[in-house]
Structure 1
Amino acid sequence: MKPVRKIGLLLLLMTFILAACGDSGSDSQTADQSGGKSSGEKVKLSIWHNFAGDDLRAKTVRGIIEQFAKDNPDIELDAQAIPPDGYRQRLSTVAAGNELPNIFFVYAGSHSAEMYKAGLLQPVTEIAEQHKDWKEKFLPGAFDPYEFEDNQIYTAPIGMSATSILYYNTALFQKYNVKVPETWDELMTAVKVFNENKLTPIALGNKAPWVAQSTILGTLADHVTGTEWFRNAAAQKDAKFTDPQFVEALGYFKQLVDNKAFQDGANSIDNTQAEQYFIQGNAAMMISGAWTLTNLAASASEEQLKDIDVTVMPSIPGGKGEAKTISGGAGGGMALSKRTEGATKEAALKLIYAISGPEAQKAIAESNSMVMYDTDIDQSKVSSLYYKAFNLVKKTAITPVYDAYLTADAAEVINNGLQEIMTGASPESIAKKLQDAQARSITP
């Protein structure tokens, strides 16, 4: 057969294949991404998220999506709520097959960065361009995890991860005449007094080893090293985790351990158990995240909550970091698949704004869940403790959470390493393990 005839037959075959694909309605995912819309047909739009639980925030987000479907009858919406434990793995599976839904929830940090590097996302910057007032009301740093080399926005934030709020029992502090600590020395004095009175100074549930890292180390270390040092160490550029300042930061954590700041068996109980231990008056303090606000709103009485107040972790003498900060940042948001086009893309951007716009941010905040958005909330709709924490976070600078910037291997090393320090390991040995893991993971 002559080459020209071969090419002609191949082109004809490809035409038939493409026509067949275009006519097929069996692959709804392909139809979703194409954006094509013939006369009288609904736009097909798919969204995946992890708001599958019975907590107020999950119900609120699902309610916003359901209302969008009712308000837009011309859009055929396929919304899937996937439990958090299996969400990331399931998303990775469909991403590997290039079958992502049009819109999907992504976590801030390494998760969204990996999606971007894999070429799976497209910008949602035009939402910010159309709604400038909306963008300007986000708290500083809200978009940082979602802006990459091209300075485009790739995710609309709908939550905040505030991980190092210092909760304290005002009644116990008054009973034992202890000052709420603002400095490290004041914290160690408080630890001493509460121990002398047979009361746990700080409740900690570190059975899942991310807890100590996320709630204590991120802010503690930032106070010692400063944020720029940490970002450089995470990138392995002119800084290493074996540097003296990070060993010093781990040394402060060891001081807490050596001075019995935590209850016995802290590595054998989980965070929820620690919350109950604290709210029942067995501990004077607890360093935990915004998730505790949601948990206690559901499980504690208003009588128990009235004695609880919140503040920031104490400053470190001579520390290079900003003193009054909370570790955290944008907890997650809605991203747009690279393959979404045409009318489907227009519908997708509309839904993303519906989930992350001013009314949605207010509704999510009033579900006792933190947002990185300057909104006013109805005090009667939230717990007294949440209201205090919401106003604290609104005026407090945010610093990085370690596991949002470390590689997965390095995050596991520091998580386990803090458990090891609690059972006798030296700060130097854990610093070396972390440095080795981070360098191994990011060095070509």
Structure 2
Amino acid sequence: MFSTFGGTDAAREAFQAALDEFTKEHPNVKIDNDTMSANDDGFRTKVNTDMNSGNEPDLLFYFIGADAEGFVNAGKVVPLNEILDADADWKNGFIPDALELAKQKDGNIYAAPLTGFYEGLFVNKKIFEENGLELPTDWAKLTTAVKALAAKGIIPLSVPFDQSHYLIEHTILSAAGPEGQNKGLLDGIDPNWEKAYAAMKELYDLGAFPKDAATIDLSMSGNYYSEGLAAMTIEGSWAIGGWSDDTRDNSTVVPFPTVPGGVGSGNDIVGGFGSGFYLSKATYDDAAKKETAIALLKHLTSPASIQKIASANGGTPAADVEVTGLPQVALDGFAMAAKAASISAPVDSKVSQETFGNLRASVQPVVEGKKTPTQAIEEAKKTEDANKK
């Protein structure tokens, strides 16, 4: 098995407990859980290399959408539709939305979801209150806060330039709106995408980002927020568990506001059920492994397992279960998602990996004035066209 539930992952212990439950019931089964952080730039490379070289794991916890298209189209994993339909108890354990959002372009479900996620603009309320600032619910309030905080030597918005996944996701969604974001770049350039990069430059010019944003990664950027050195960060629900108690207790989350000239509502968020467990075709065709692998898949995505994982990582449960023991900021996140005008999968699921890498690489030159927003999007469009030929 290959998953992200290792290292510093908030659900590592809960996931290991679920594996231990299974091996207790099946003493002859040995589970090798190979793990790697999804934030690691080598994560996608390892998965794609393994899947294409005959080294695929029996069960794979991985992204749903564009990231999986290669090995899905190559027939390396099996559709789960028939297995779900044959086991009503398992299928009915999922909320319908979770299964709907787990579908690939061909309408089949290849990945059984576990927990979903939401992303947003996380705000340290204590820092805002101490500086007499309103929550950044619109662009004017955001830029007012950035200017005031930068003047006091507080990092306004902690994000890195290279691993700028979340900055890109949120500015493009707020600039282009859900429809413009969802179209990707294949059918032409939506000029609103350029406004996302113009907004990043405006924030940079106001002193929004860490002085070392060009050299830090997501982990370091998160540390600045966790340690109370930054007033805001753009992250996903999974990050909450890694923050200091003080920061967690003083945080809330709001949708990223509409950028200047953008067509987003100001209440559009990134979220959904973006990952799940895949069952490899090789394992499915192996009579010695098939039934055990399916049993483990069902166990790991049962309502009981989902409840434990969601309680650990604050993710949106894929089953109708009550998640307990979560901090207020996680409850704020659930409320934000419930009230959102739209919930969209991240833009990196709408374009090829190479294109998203190109979008990331353009952040620093654009904010530093070495490249225009138009050039950034045109370069990404060329990469997308080249990858889809």
Instruction: Please give the range of the TM-score, normalised by the shorter of the 2 chains.
Output: 0.7 to 0.9
Flag the 1:62–1:391 CA change in 2: closer, same or farther, 3 A: farther
Q: Residues 318-337 of structure 1, C-alpha deviation per residue, up to 9 Å, x if partnerless?
A: 64334313223334211112
Deviation at 1:249, TM superposition (A): 2.3
For the residue of structure 1 that corresponds to 2:312, the secondary structure is coil
Aligned with residue 150 of structure 2, among 180, 192, 195: 195
Stretches of structure 2 that go unaligned for 5 or more consecutive residues are: none
Distance 1:183 1:56 in 2: 31
Distance 1:109 1:250 in 2: 24
Distance 1:185 1:229 in 2: 23
Q: Which residue does 1:412 correspond to in 2?
A: 357
Q: Which residue does 1:422 correspond to in 2?
A: 367
Q: Which residue does 2:174 correspond to in 1?
A: 223
Q: In 2, are the aligned partners of 1:219 and 1:325 still within 8 Å (CA)?
A: no
Q: In 2, are the aligned partners of 1:143 and 1:330 still within 8 Å (CA)?
A: no
Q: Which residue does 1:11 correspond to in 2?
A: none
Deviation at 1:93, TM superposition (A): 4.2
Distance 2:8 2:248 in 1: 22
Deviation at 1:192, TM superposition (A): 2.5
Q: Say if 2:212 is the partner of 1:265.
A: yes
Aligned with residue 436 of structure 1, among 378, 382, 388: 382
Distance 1:54 1:117 in 2: 32
Q: Which residue does 1:282 correspond to in 2?
A: 229
**TM-score (normalised: structure 1):** 0.76
Q: Say if 2:105 is the partner of 1:148.
A: yes
Q: Which residue does 1:64 correspond to in 2?
A: 18
Distance 1:48 1:270 in 2: 24
Q: Residues 58-114 of structure 1, C-alpha deviation per residue, up to 9 Å, x if partnerless?
A: 2222221221122134x6344332334566545444433435343222222333211
Deviation at 1:270, TM superposition (A): 2.5
Count of matched residue pairs: 378
Flag the 1:181–1:121 CA change in 2: closer, same or farther, 3 A: same
Aligned with residue 333 of structure 2, among 381, 389, 395: 389
Distance 1:183 1:197 in 2: 22
Mapping of 1:307-322 within 5 angstroms?
307-316=250-259, 319-322=262-265
Moved more, 278-287 or 58-67: 278-287
For the residue of structure 2 that corresponds to 1:121, the secondary structure is coil
For the residue of structure 2 that corresponds to 1:166, the secondary structure is strand
The percentage of aligned residue pairs carrying the same residue is 23
Q: Residues 35-66 of structure 1, C-alpha deviation per residue, up to 9 Å, x if partnerless?
A: xxxxxxxxxxxx33342325441222222122
Q: 1:313 corresponds to which letter in structure 2?
A: F
Flag the 1:66–1:183 CA change in 2: closer, same or farther, 3 A: same
Q: In 1, are the aligned partners of 2:192 and 2:262 still within 8 Å (CA)?
A: no
Q: 2:138 corresponds to which letter in structure 1?
A: T
Distance 1:201 1:286 in 2: 8
Q: 1:325 corresponds to which letter in structure 2?
A: D
Q: Say if 2:57 is the partner of 1:106.
A: no
Q: Residues 170-206 of structure 1, C-alpha deviation per residue, up to 9 Å, x if partnerless?
A: 2222222211122112212222232344433212233
Mapping of 1:23-422 within 5 angstroms?
47-53=1-7, 55-73=9-27, 76-84=29-37, 88-129=44-85, 130-131=88-89, 132-135=91-94, 137=95, 140=97, 143-149=100-106, 151-162=107-118, 164-206=119-161, 209-210=162-163, 212=164, 214-234=165-185, 236-237=186-187, 239-240=188-189, 243-296=190-243, 300=244, 302-316=245-259, 319-339=262-282, 340-341=284-285, 344-373=289-318, 374-379=320-325, 382-393=326-337, 395-396=339-340, 397-422=342-367
Q: 1:278 corresponds to which letter in structure 2?
A: Y
Mapping of 1:3-18 within 5 angstroms?
none
**TM-score (normalised: structure 2):** 0.86
For the residue of structure 2 that corresponds to 1:64, the secondary structure is helix
Deviation at 1:277, TM superposition (A): 2.3
For the residue of structure 2 that corresponds to 1:192, the secondary structure is helix
Flag the 1:321–1:349 CA change in 2: closer, same or farther, 3 A: farther
Q: Residues 12-51 of structure 1, C-alpha deviation per residue, up to 9 Å, x if partnerless?
A: xxxxxxxxxxxxxxxxxxxxxxxxxxxxxxxxxxx33342
Q: In 2, are the aligned partners of 1:305 and 1:385 still within 8 Å (CA)?
A: yes
Q: In 2, are the aligned partners of 1:145 and 1:330 still within 8 Å (CA)?
A: yes
Q: In 2, are the aligned partners of 1:50 and 1:87 still within 8 Å (CA)?
A: no
Distance 1:273 1:101 in 2: 31
Deviation at 1:245, TM superposition (A): 1.6
Q: 1:205 corresponds to which letter in structure 2?
A: P
Moved more, 362-371 or 112-121: 362-371
Flag the 1:244–1:347 CA change in 2: closer, same or farther, 3 A: same
Distance 1:196 1:88 in 2: 39
Moved more, 190-199 or 166-175: 190-199
For the residue of structure 1 that corresponds to 2:5, the secondary structure is coil
Distance 2:47 2:201 in 1: 38
Q: In 1, are the aligned partners of 2:225 and 2:231 still within 8 Å (CA)?
A: yes
Q: In 1, are the aligned partners of 2:274 and 2:345 still within 8 Å (CA)?
A: no
